[in-house]
Each structure stands twice: as structure tokens, then as C-alpha cells.
Structure 1
Amino acid sequence: MRIVLVGPPGAGKGTQAAYLAKNLAIPHISTGDLFRANISQGTPLGLEAKSYMDAGQLVPDSVTIGMAEDRMGHADAANGFLLDGFPRNLGQAESLDDYLKGHDLKLDAVLDLEVPEDEVVKRIAGRRICRKDSSHVFHAEYNKPETEGVCDVCGGELYQRDDDSEDTVRNRLEVYHTQTEPIIDYYKAQDLVVTIPALGKVSEVTERAMAALKALSE
């Protein structure tokens, strides 16, 4: 299957993408991983992206599209893939369509993870990270440490990242509404969108998504 995963920041796209890709035996292709891999390997696209990033500028769509198209052409993606973070806007969605048509392929579904905006803010703004080890993550409401402000694992100080503040989260949501949400209507016109309620346990959301995909293939 060839799937695009969309949803606001804090919807759990990365977590769901990993589980779904494993269950479907297809590669999880995320924009973040594409950038890291191309930059670390020093590919022409990676060097171009780094030059923009070092200058504090946005990486042009053409670079992101080039990385995605290269990755979709790998052998492990021959039978399908799950795209996470791409396409991010209408221009990228149209380029993806052109790529797929050029290779006689098509998308099977666009999974839209639906989360109320207040819940998104609560999820992200409540996140607390350990200063000693950033892999130790807690939450002010959903995963409280035994001692407030102290990591249960290593005793490090827990803090809120600047980009997790409520104001920053609401700004990120505004960018999502302006740039990314229009692709949902674009794909609805192609009858590809399946809305998945993303509240509840991670396993429950995964089960909903898998059930929806199974229904599509029947």
C-alpha cells in the first residue's frame, strides 16, 4: 500500500507511522529522516539543504521533493511506503501525484489523524524533557515524574523546550492550518481521505487505522 499520513503537530504521526509501517511491512518515509540521512551522507540534495539551513532559510520544496522521490525509488519501497511529513503543502502534493503517475503508481489512502486543537496544545505544552538525556520524556499530566521537575530515570532536571511553549504550539498549529490542511481537501476530491480519531491509547489508534485500511482493500 502507498499511504500518506497527515495530522496536526502532536497528533502522534511519528508513533503511528512506525507501527503502521511495521504492520504493513512497508518503509516509513519521514521528512526528518530524509533530511538527516541526506545531510549526514553528504548527498547533493543534502548539501543543498544544509546550505539553506545554515543560512537560517527555509529549504525549498524542490529539495524536499527531490529527497522524497529518491527515497520512494529505493528497492524496499517497490511494494509500497508510508509518507510522514510529506507532502506538507499543495505544491508538494501535486508533485507527488506527478511522480506517481510517471511511474504508473497511485496512492491507496490518506490517513488524517484527527485531534482537537486544545488536546494538541495540552499534549505538547505539557511535555517535559530531561536535560541529561533527551530520550527521557515525561508529561505534566499524562506521564508525571515521581518528583516534580526530576527525571525518574537518571535524576536530571526536567524542562520545557522553547518550541513546546503554548504560544509556539499555537503558532505551529496556525502554520498547519494554512499550509498543510489544504492538502486534505485536495485528497478528498480524489476520494482518498480516511479520518482516524487519534484520541485514546496508541494501540487503539493503530487498530482504528489498520481496520480502516483493511476495509479499503476489501
Structure 2
Amino acid sequence: MAKNLILLGLPGAGKGTEADLIVKDYPLVHISTGDIFRANLANDTDLGQKARAFMDAGDLVPDEITNAMVADRLEKDDVEAGFMLDGYPRNEAQAIFLDQYLAENGKKISATIYFEVSDDILRERLLGRGREDDTPEVIDNRLAVNKAANLPLVDYYQKSGVLHAINGGREVNDVYHDVKKVLDSLD
């Protein structure tokens, strides 16, 4: 049976790092919302054009456009063995859409892995990236905004019975050891 995952966590929690390890050991396609947006914009798709209008105005892309892009991506043949979503869903409305979309297509989320990391470690990691826009003030704001979005999702997937919280503040391989335990328990 295909394993379909969602990776949740605040910026700096290690989702991308762990995703890179997961795809080496499991036949899952890593689907990043950022990659989906970039592909739609680069290919000048109808959805990309709609998204660009909002992005150019400095507005968030509405859920219906984001949902349509993700649904379009999930219709590709490469996800049949399983997929891993990173950066989606971003809110409960998107989570509900995703569950309904998957159910209509005979699929479901196997597990949601939530990387819990303390604010101090997140700040340290984000400051260590060396990006110009990663100032302490910007980082604190980014963490606050993302917490407001993530915590309802954690509750949503907890209630769905698919949430697996992992301490993401440890060494990469220690975190991955726990990720593997979750993935291996899904067989």
C-alpha cells in the first residue's frame, strides 16, 4: 500500500533535510509547495498566471488556487507508490480539501510527521543560514505567523489519528531514526 505523508513543522525544523533522507530509503515523491508554485509560474500555466496576479500584488495566493495546483500535482503517475507533502496543507481548510480530494481518488494520508523544535533552536538554525533577511526580528515574526498556522493543523491531524510528533531538535540522524520507525510501522 502506498505511503502518503505530510511533513509539518516550523521554519528551521528540518523538514527538507529529513525529506531528503526519506526519499533515499522509501519510494516516495517529495512534493514541495514551493516547487509546485515555481513549476506553474515557469510553465506559465493557467494556475500559474492566476497565482502570479496575487503574488505580484503581494497577496497570499487563495486556497482554491493552491489546492488546484496540489491536486494537479497529485494526479501525476509518479505519486502512485506514495508521496510526501512539504509545505502543504498550510491551514485547516486546505487539510479538509486534501482529505476530500484523496478520498475521492481512493487514497488517504498514512501519517503526518510533526517536527517539534524549541524556539531557541529554531532561531539558532535560521540565523545560521546566513540569509540577509533572517534578522532576529524577522525570524521571530516568521515563527509567530507559522505557529498560528501550524498549531490548528497539529490538532486536526491529532484528531484524525495520523499525527506522529518527533523531537526535531536533535541530531539529523537521531531524528531520522524516529522517522523511520514511523514509516516502517505503516506497512
* Structure 1 residues 62-101: aligned runs within 5 Å: 62-101=64-103
RMSD of aligned alpha carbons = 1.2
**Is the Cα–Cα contact under 8 Å of residues 21 and 81 in structure 1 kept in the other structure?**
no
Indicate the residue corresponding to 1:180 in structure 2: 150
**Is the Cα–Cα contact under 8 Å of residues 34 and 67 in structure 1 kept in the other structure?**
yes
Instruction: Give the alignment partner of residue 117 of structure 1, picking from 97, 116, 119.
Output: 119
* Structure 1 residues 127-181: Cα deviation after superposition (integer angstroms, max 9, x where no partner): 22xxxxxxxxxxxxxxxxxxxxxxxxxxxxxxx412x111111111111121222
TM-score by length of 2: 0.94
The residue identity in structure 2 corresponding to 1:2 is N
**Is the Cα–Cα contact under 8 Å of residues 89 and 95 in structure 2 kept in the other structure?**
yes
**Is the Cα–Cα contact under 8 Å of residues 196 and 209 in structure 1 kept in the other structure?**
yes
**Is the Cα–Cα contact under 8 Å of residues 166 and 179 in structure 2 kept in the other structure?**
yes
TM-score by length of 1: 0.81
Aligned equivalents of 2:137 and 2:103: distance in 1? 41
**Is the Cα–Cα contact under 8 Å of residues 54 and 61 in structure 2 kept in the other structure?**
yes
* Structure 1 residues 104-125: Cα deviation after superposition (integer angstroms, max 9, x where no partner): 1111100001111111011112
**Is the Cα–Cα contact under 8 Å of residues 5 and 109 in structure 2 kept in the other structure?**
yes
Indicate the residue corresponding to 1:207 in structure 2: 177
* Structure 1 residues 28-56: Cα deviation after superposition (integer angstroms, max 9, x where no partner): 00011001111001111111111111121
Aligned equivalents of 2:129 and 2:27: distance in 1? 31
Indicate the residue corresponding to 1:18 in structure 2: 20
The residue identity in structure 1 corresponding to 2:102 is L
Indicate the residue corresponding to 1:153 in structure 2: none
Deviation at 1:197, TM superposition (A): 1.2
Indicate the residue corresponding to 2:44 in structure 1: 42
**Is the Cα–Cα contact under 8 Å of residues 3 and 83 in structure 1 kept in the other structure?**
yes
Indicate the residue corresponding to 1:169 in structure 2: 139
Aligned equivalents of 1:85 and 1:194: distance in 2? 17
**Is the Cα–Cα contact under 8 Å of residues 90 and 180 in structure 1 kept in the other structure?**
no
Gaps of 5+ in 2: none
Query: Secondary structure, in 3 states, of the residue corresponding to 1:175?
Result: helix
The structure, 1 or 2, with the larger RCO (C-alpha pairs under 8 Å, 6+ apart) is 2
The structure with the largest alpha-carbon Rg is 1
* Structure 1 residues 170-214: Cα deviation after superposition (integer angstroms, max 9, x where no partner): 111111121222011111111100111112332222222011221
Percent identity reads 41
Aligned equivalents of 1:97 and 1:188: distance in 2? 14
Number of residue pairs the alignment of both structures matches:
185
Whichever structure has more helix as a proportion of its residues is 2
